[in-house]
Structures are given as C-alpha cells and as structure tokens.
Structure 1
Amino acid sequence: MQSPAFLQQLQTAVRQLHATVETELQPLPDAVLNRKPRPDGWSVLECLEHLNRYARYYLPALTKALNGRPAAAPAAEVRYSWLGRKSLDLVRPDNGRQHKTVKHMNPSGSQLHRAVLTEFLQHQAELLALLASARTTNLNRRTVPVEFFRLLKLRVGETLEFVVRHQERHLQQVLRAAQTAAPALAV
C-alpha cells in the first residue's frame, strides 16, 4: 500500500477507536466497566489497561524512531518483514484465536478506575500526532524494538499498524465485555 493511503487508513481507525470509547464506554457505570464477562476474562477496564501498557512502551519508542534521525525520504510503498507479517497476523481483529499475553502486560486482578479511559484517549491523541509526523518518514526503517524481546525490531510502518490493529482487536473484546456486563447488572 502507498504510504499516504496507509497512514490515512490508520488515522481513520484511531479516530474511530477514540469515538467508540468516548460515546459507548465513557457513559457506562463503573460496575459495568469493572465486571468480567467470565472469571478468566478481562473487564472493559482491564482490556483498556492492557492497551495502555502497550502504548506506554510503543508510543515513546515510535516517537524516538520518528524524531531520532534526520527525516529520510518517504518510501512510496509500505513493505513488511517476516516478523512484521507474523506480528500483524497475531493481532488482526479478524483473527479469532486467543493468545496468551506476557505477564507484565496482563492487567487481570488490577484495581482499575475511570482514569484508564482517560489515559487510553490521551494515547489515541498521541498516536494521531505520531501518524501525522510519520508522513515525512520512510516507514520501512527498522527502528522500533519489539516490547517483549528488544533485540528484534519492527519497521516504523509495521509498528504503527501493529499498535492500531492490536487496539482494534481488543476494542472488539471490550465491547463484548460491556454487552455481557450490562444485562447481568440490570438483574
């Protein structure tokens, strides 16, 4: 895909994620936000906290990658490495397989509050700014270390897409958790 269209697609997805959290999740009562759909599942806030933990790593890493070197001429086409393709396949929203998360990214059992929603929305604004600044960068540079094994690196474009697709995947989980919790609490 061409770099400008690629970035525009990601920006549209991030705006949609932001709007969904604002319109569908912020109005929910705390009891719904904290209710687990099943004992081994994550509540709405746990899902969002998981995404916040990833954002706390990847957004600064992307900022460093985008600002750390002189701007290279943007590549016309976004290309994928084997690691990028594999990473994206794991987090695609249409991939129905469940995956175990690394321990420090698992928020299960955490005491969470509405501040998780606020932080998530702040991360979305920061991600939009990064996507805008990426327009002048070669997205095919390998400059972002993978969170759980920093010797491996993803290209900037792959990392941006990974973050967005991971968020889309978990927002689907969030909406299912909210749908399950609301009727259960109404009884």
Structure 2
Amino acid sequence: MDTATFLSTLQQQAQAQKTILQSEFLPLDDATLNFKPHATGWSILECLEHLNRYSRFYLPHLERALTATATPVPPQPVRYSWMGKKSLDLVNPVNAKKHKTLKHMNPHNSQLTTAVLTEFLQHQEKLLHLLSAAHKADLNRKAIPVEFFKLLKMRLGEAFEFLILHQQRHIQQAQRVQAPSLQPLSLVV
C-alpha cells in the first residue's frame, strides 16, 4: 500500500475511535465506566487507561522519529518486517486470542476517574497530528523501540498501525463491557 493511502486509512480509523469515545463513553456515569463484567475483567476506564499507558510510551517516540526526518521522502510502498507483522497480528482485533499484558501496562483494579477519557482524547489529537506530519517521513525506517524490549525496533509505519489496531482491539473490548449495561431490565412475573 502506498504511503498516502496508508496514512489516510489510519487517520480515518483514529478519527473513528475518537468519535466512539465521545459518543459512547463520555456520556456514561462513573458507575458504568467502572463496571467490570467479572472479577478478572477490565472496566471501560481500565481498557482506556491501558491504551493511555501505551500512548505515553509510543507517541513521544513517534514524535522524535518524525522530527528527526530531515528531508521529505518520495512516496513509496509501506513495507513490514517480521517483528512488525508479529506485533500487528498480536493486537489485531480480528485475532480473538487473549494475551497477557505486561504488569506495568495492566490497569486492573486501579482507581480511575473520567480523567482517563480526557487523556485518551488528548492522545488521539496528538496521534492525528503525528499522522498528518508523517506524510513527509520514511515510514519504512526502523526507529521506534518496542515497549517490552527496547533493543528491538519497529518501522515508523508499523508503529502507527500497531497503535491504531491496539486501540481498536481495546475499544471493542470496552464496548463489550458497556453492552450489558445498555440492556433494559426485564421483570419476570
């Protein structure tokens, strides 16, 4: 896929994720946002806090990599490394397999407030800004350290796609948590 189409697709997905947060999660009360479907499950706020923790790591690295790009690069196809393909497969929402998260990225049983939503929206704005700036960058350059093993590097394009897919996966998880609370109570007489 060429760079322009790739970035345009990611921008549309990031914007859609922002819209979901604004329309589906912002109007909810604290009890609904903190509801857990079961003891080991995450609440809506825990799903979003998990994403905030990843954004706190990856967004500064993406910004530095884009700032380090001295001259615009001509359009070229986006390529994937073995590491990139594995990372993307791991977080792809189509992959229903559950994965254990790193301890410091796991917000389970955290005391969270609606500030999590505000922070997520700020991260989305930053991500959208970086995606716009990426049109001049070499998306095939290995520049972004992998969070769990910083010696490994992802390509710039892979890191953008990783963030978007990871967010999509956990936003869908948060939507599933919310779904039972949307069901009207029925009384059986």
Shift of 1:154: 0.1
Q: Once the 2 structures are TM-superposed, how far is the Cα of residue 69 of structure 1 from its aligned partner? A: 3.5
Structure 1 stretches of at least 4 aligned residues deviating more than 6 Å after TM superposition: 184-187
Query: Aligned partners of 1:17 and 1:74: how far apart in 2?
Result: 29
CA contact (8 A) 1:3 1:78 kept: yes
Alignment match, 1:80 = 80
Does the CA contact (< 8 Å) of 1:32 and 1:181 recur in 2? yes
Residue matched to 2:153: 153
Cα deviations across residues 44-99 of structure 1 (Å, max 9, x unaligned)? 00000000000000000100111024135144100000000000000111110000
Equivalent residues of 1:93, 1:168 under 8 A apart: yes
Bigger mean CA offset, 173-182 vs 6-15? 173-182
> Considering only CA atoms, is the larger Rg found in Structure 1 or Structure 2?
2
CA distance in 2, matches of 1:56, 1:184: 37
For the 8 Å contact 1:32–1:185, the answer to whether it is kept is no
Match of 2:173 in 1: 173
Q: Could you tell me which amino acid in structure 1 is paired with residue 86 of structure 2?
A: K
Unaligned segments of structure 1, at least 5 residues: none
SS of the aligned residue for 2:138 comes to coil
Residue in structure 2 matched with residue 163 of structure 1 by the alignment: 163
8 Å Cα contact 2:69-2:137 kept in structure 1: no
* Deviation larger for 176-185 or 36-45: 176-185
**Change in 2 beyond 3 A, CA 1:50/1:138:** same
Q: C-alpha separation between the residues in 2 aligned to 1:101 and 1:21? A: 22
Aligned-pair identity (%): 53
Alignment check: 8 A CA contact 2:73 2:136 kept: yes
Amino acid at match of 2:169: R
1:16 and 1:122 map into 2 onto residues whose CA distance is: 15
Equivalence for 2:143: 143
User: Considering only aligned residues, what root-mean-square deviation do their CA atoms show, in Å?
Assistant: 1.6
Q: Which residue is equivalent to 1:70?
A: 70
Match of 2:59 in 1: 59
Change (3 A) 1:80 1:98: same
Tell me the CA shift for residue 180 of structure 1. Answer: 2.5
Tell me how far apart the structure 1 counterparts of residues 6 and 163 of structure 2 sit (CA, whole Å).
14
For 2:26, the aligned partner's letter is Q
Contact 1:65 1:144 (C-alpha < 8 Å) held by counterparts: yes
Which secondary structure state, in structure 2, belongs to the residue aligned with residue 76 of structure 1? coil
The Cα offsets for residues 90-135 of structure 1, whole Å up to 9 and x where unpaired, read as 0111110000000000000110000000000110000000000000
In structure 1, C-alpha distance between the alignment counterparts of 2:74 and 2:126, rounded to whole Å: 21
Distance 1:74 1:43 in 2: 44
Distance in 2, Cα, partners of 1:139 & 1:87 = 16
